[in-house]
């Protein structure tokens, strides 16, 4: 599970990570960050999209504070792994605006 976060809104507040580049299906690798103590992947920096970070929500101090809004890469997903009621995509989305629109609809911000 990944949570899309703007790079400017992300900070690692505790601990250190081990990082390494891993190839993707595209032309640019991703930088994977792994906890130096438990070796769990904490977040990924996609080189192709430097303004984004993909955070593993299970590594947050309060993982229950976030809820999924869509599922991607369902082409090979087991039926028991699909969350009922979420829009599913067989592969990755080409464009993020659909995700942004869905997130904003699920998390309205009060006008100031």
- pLDDT score at 82: 84
Note whether 1 and 57 are within 8 A (CB).
yes
Q: Which of 19, 4, 15, 14 is nearest to 53 (CA)?
A: 4
Q: Kindly state the tokens that stand for 55.
A: 């955070």
How far is residue 3's CA from residue 10's CA, in Å, rounded to a whole number? 11
The C-alpha atoms of residue 77 and residue 64 are separated, in whole angstroms, by: 23
Question: If pLDDT is split at 50, 70 and 90, which confidence band does 112 have?
Answer: very low
pLDDT tens profile 11-46: 888 888 999 998 887 778 899 999 999 999 999 998
Give the E-state strand segments of 1-112 in sequence order. Answer: 3-6, 17-22, 30-35, 41-46, 52-55, 70-71, 87-88
Q: What is the pLDDT of residues 44-94, one digit of tens each?
A: 998 888 888 999 988 888 888 888 888 887 888 888 988 888 888 887 766
Distance of alpha carbon 55 from its chain centroid, rounded? 5
């Amino acid at each position: 599970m990944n949570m899309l976060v703007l790079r400017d809104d992300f900070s690692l507040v505790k601990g250190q990570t081990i990082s390494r580049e891993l190839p993707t299906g595209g032309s640019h690798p991703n930088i994977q960050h792994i906890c130096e103590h438990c070796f769990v992947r904490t977040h990924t920096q996609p080189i192709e999209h430097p303004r984004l970070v993909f955070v593993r929500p299970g590594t947050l101090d309060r993982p229950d504070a976030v809820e999924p809004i869509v599922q991607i890469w369902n082409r090979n997903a087991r039926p028991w792994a699909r969350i009922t009621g979420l829009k599913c995509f067989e592969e990755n989305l080409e464009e993020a605006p659909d995700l942004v629109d869905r997130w904003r609809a699920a998390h309205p911000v009060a006008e100031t």
